[in-house]
């Protein structure tokens, strides 16, 4: 059973090295690529004001956060929630830097040491859509995910939206025959009618073989003999012989 946690944070600013802190952290659980409804969410008192630009993004004021717990009060609940799960984050270096700074203040190991794997959906998106905007909003629009209610950034809402984005980004990894969510017994039954299905096999003509050999020789010449697709020598039999 594959367990994943889609995680997001909100912060007082952009630089944990200058003292910026986490003010909200949230994660939603996926089991076998399905949201389970389990989640972790906490607002945090950072003991400092947010940068004005950050405040415009998340809207979490000092007054609102004044009676919220400190990171040290929720850290063990958070680590228990993420333990043994693959962590999915959009722009993971940003969130991990803040989590590491908070953990270091408590003399705890870095975040990566508490989980088996961290997957960065921003890296995935840049690979699939090079040269395009790949913010969470841009990806929601690209995949037709409704984010009209996202007027301000919020860790829990963003984690839920990112879960949908992640599933859309990885949908091409699903089986072409059955959905990955199908139980193993049903999957076996669904695939069984394909066993022994006769696949048509066409042999190339002599002209096609010659054209193929000419193309391979051209590749070999262009790569100065480094091509992994070598043309056949005259002693080698043709595939149709």
Active site residues: 153
Supply the DSSP string of 136-181, one letter for each residue: HHHHHHHHT---TT-SS--HHHHHHHHHHHHHHHTGGGS-SSS-TT
Residue partners of 63: CB distance under 8 A and separation at least 6 = none
Q: Smallest Cα–Cα separation from 165: which of 87, 89, 99?
A: 89
Report the C-alpha gap between 71 and 103 in whole angstroms. 9
Distance in Å from the first CA to the final CA of the chain: 49
Write down the residue that tokens 């690979």 correspond to: 127
How many CA atoms within 13 Å lie on the side-chain side of 54? 19
């Amino acid at each position: 059973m594959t367990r994943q946690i889609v995680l997001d944070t909100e912060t007082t600013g952009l630089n944990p090295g200058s003292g910026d802190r986490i003010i909200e952290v949230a994660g939603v659980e996926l089991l076998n690529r399905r949201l389970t409804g389990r989640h972790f969410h906490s607002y945090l008192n950072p003991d400092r004001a947010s940068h004005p630009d950050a405040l415009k993004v998340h809207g979490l004021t000092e007054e609102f956060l004044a009676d919220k717990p400190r990171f040290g009060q929720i850290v063990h609940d958070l680590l228990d929630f993420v333990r043994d799960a693959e962590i999915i984050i959009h722009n993971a270096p940003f969130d991990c830097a803040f989590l590491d700074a908070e953990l270091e203040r408590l003399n705890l190991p870095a975040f990566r040491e508490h989980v088996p794997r961290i997957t960065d959906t921003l890296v995935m998106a840049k690979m699939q859509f090079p040269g395009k905007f790949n913010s969470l909003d841009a990806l929601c629009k690209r995949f037709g995910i409704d984010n009209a209610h996202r007027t301000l950034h919020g860790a829990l809402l963003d984690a839920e939206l990112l879960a949908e984005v992640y599933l859309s980004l990885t949908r091409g990894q699903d089986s072409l025959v059955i959905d990955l969510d199908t139980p193993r017994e049903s999957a076996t039954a669904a695939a069984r009618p394909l066993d022994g299905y006769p696949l048509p096999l066409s042999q190339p003509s002599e002209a096609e073989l010659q054209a193929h050999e000419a193309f391979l020789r051209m590749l070999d010449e262009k790569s100065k003999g480094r091509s992994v697709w070598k043309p056949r020598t005259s002693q080698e039999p043709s595939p149709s012989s």
